[in-house]
Amino acid sequence: MERTDVAADAAVEVIPLGGLGEFGMNMLLVSCGDDALLVDAGVMFPEPELFGVDLVIPDLEVLERWRGRIVALVLTHGHEDHIGAIAHVFEHVSGPIYATPFTLALVEPKLDEHGIDPGDRLTAVAPRESVMAGPFRIEFLRVTHSMPDCVALAIHTPAGTIVHTGDFKVDQTPLDGEAFDLHRFAELGGQGVLALLSDSTNADRRGVTGSEREVRDGFEEVFSSAPGRILVAAFSTSVYRMQLLVDLAAQFDRRVAFVGRGMQHVSAIAERLGRLRIPAGVAVREADVRDLRPSEVLCLCTGSQGEPLAALPRIAIDDHRHVRLEPDDLVVFSARVIPGNEKAIGRVMNHVARRGAHIVGESDKHVHVSGHGSEEELKLVLSLVKPRYFVPIHGEYRQLARHARMATLVCPGTTVLMAQDGDVLRFDREGGRLAGRVAAGRVLIDGTRTGEVADEVLRDRRHLAGDGLVVPVVAIDGQTGALAQVPEVITRGLALDAKHDDVLRDAPSLLARAIEAAPQEERTDPGLLKERVRLEVQRMFRKRAGRRPLVLPVVLEV
């Protein structure tokens, strides 16, 4: 196989800071000499046991060390696990932020929310375009995924070309007609690629993932048989899914309401950029839903993961301002279940079923297709790129290992480097190898859901030292939702002056009153109750003591 010659003393290091050995939180540092380049700045959604945490982002200590020398940030696409930490990462980057227009349109409001003015640093790029950043030439390649405007990267470095796929599947019939640039992948492979870093999310699925178009038939059956409202829970970034549903709504004479902040936000951006086409008269506001006959309604809702404050979970317990469920309604779950969210989603389904509405999931009809390539697609990319080194990325260890085995089958001459977050991959005259580790880990962030993003509280040691920790313990009768005893409120590292310490005295009874005032369904649902307790306690300490402690509610069912 071809060898990529490494120029004398041109060493390049690749350090994954998130996304390897776990799902989400994708971020990777590429350095050469005194310059570094950052690829993606993602978040991971908190697992249910991390009560009260809103966001999990990679530990930024490494970036701190590179401060002033990170010449650019490159974003592959607009999913939260690739751009969600942008506001936290922004100040560590000295140069431009390169991304496609749709990705940038999702990034802008995130910076804005945090009061960050990027000036002229947001730079739109197009597939097949190249930009220079320090010693790197970064080339963008079109890939297909579950949202528009996604790219892979060919990073041309003094040590050779590194191809980073971003997230992808090989959709041969993309809804927007913008095809995966397989030709350029093949060309690069012919010229010689030093290392391929490729998406392993679905490495344990056989065959081919399938086109975004494939769910049309499943949804057509839903539309032709549903007598009442149709509610579809999906990720708000699933713009292709949105388009397909908008088109079906038009065809079946239904009006579409985007329900939930995320849905409204992303659909508005997509429409503005011409990525979502809504025929005149098809879209209605949330508030208009109740004036329409049920058979005229399609609601696209947030909350596919059972998030307590999102649209569908609120609708499911009759706690939504505009949308109510009736027995003839049909609720479609059109999203992957992120591992760890099964219980929360199951509870939402129970609430839906209790209202007599029908539930359609992936096991009933083909109403969801993944955005990540399965085995045959991963092999295709490997065989086109024929890298000298292969580094599986985006996945837990078992997916990375599966992907590694595929590489040894497809490209016998390729050396696999298995890395996890924090590993330093070094490419120099001696070749490529693991060469040490840096600190990598997670930082938990609290507060974005309450809209107090500017004041958000970093949940690390510094934060705990400053504002302390509050653990409200609530024991509840799982059947009736009645309090089994007065809640306990335990604090650590929270120093209050005499003027404010009455909040500690009053907290248990205030909390008890707030819980008793909540609807029974919320009190018997531990996920919803935890969220309620967290918000109440946060508010109490903020209002009465001016403090923002970290609140970790514990709900015991007795």
Active site residue ranges: 199, 372
Q: Which stretch binds Zn ion (CB under 5 A): 167-175, 217-225, 239-247, 436-444?
A: 167-175
CA distance linking residue 494 with residue 415, whole number of Å: 52
Tell me how far, at minimum, the Cβ of 113 lies from Zn ion, in Å: 21
Nearer to Zn ion, 81 or 212 (CB): 81
Q: Is 40 in the site for Zn ion (CB under 5 A)?
A: no
Question: Mapping DSSP to helix (H, G, I), strand (E, B) and coil, where does residue 6 land?
Answer: coil
Binding residues among 193-212 for Zn ion as defined by CB under 5 A: none
| Rg of the Cα atoms in the chain | 25
Edge-to-edge, what's the strand order for the sheet holding 330-333?
283-284, 255-259, 297-301, 230-233, 330-333, 358-360
CA distance linking residue 59 with residue 56, whole number of Å: 9
Q: Which stretch binds Zn ion (CB under 5 A): 76-84, 122-130, 239-247, 506-514?
A: 76-84
CA distance linking residue 372 with residue 378, whole number of Å: 9
Helices (H) and strands (E) in the chain, counts: 16, 28
Dihedral sign, Cα of residue 31, residue 35, residue 40, residue 42: positive
Question: Mapping DSSP to helix (H, G, I), strand (E, B) and coil, where does residue 213 land?
Answer: helix
Q: Is 372 in the site for Zn ion (CB under 5 A)?
A: no
CA distance linking residue 343 with residue 305, whole number of Å: 9
Nearer to Zn ion, 167 or 423 (CB): 167
Q: Which stretch binds Zn ion (CB under 5 A): 166-174, 253-261, 316-324, 450-458?
A: 166-174
Nearer to Zn ion, 77 or 548 (CB): 77
Q: Is 241 in the site for Zn ion (CB under 5 A)?
A: no
Nearer to Zn ion, 29 or 106 (CB): 106
Q: Which stretch binds Zn ion (CB under 5 A): 77-85, 210-218, 427-435, 454-462?
A: 77-85
Tell me how far, at minimum, the Cβ of 496 lies from Zn ion, in Å: 42
Q: Is 167 in the site for Zn ion (CB under 5 A)?
A: yes
Nearest to 548 by CA among 443, 442, 441, 450: 450
Tokens 């400053």: give the residue.
466
Q: What is the DSSP letter of 209?
A: -
Interface characters, 79-118, with Zn ion (x: CB under 5 A): x-x-------------------------------------
Q: Which stretch binds Zn ion (CB under 5 A): 72-80, 155-163, 213-221, 299-307?
A: 72-80
Tell me how far, at minimum, the Cβ of 102 lies from Zn ion, in Å: 12
Count of residues that bind Zn ion according to CB under 5 A: 3
Tell me how far, at minimum, the Cβ of 42 lies from Zn ion, in Å: 7
Is 138 within 8 Å of 72 (Cβ atoms)?
A: yes
Bridge partners for 256 per DSSP? 283, 298
Nearer to Zn ion, 167 or 286 (CB): 167
Is 432 within 8 Å of 425 (Cβ atoms)?
A: yes
Tell me how far, at minimum, the Cβ of 327 lies from Zn ion, in Å: 37
Tell me how far, at minimum, the Cβ of 81 lies from Zn ion, in Å: 4
Q: Are strands 423-428 and 12-18 parallel, antiparallel or unpaired?
A: antiparallel
Which residues form the interface with Zn ion (CB under 5 A)? 79, 81, 167
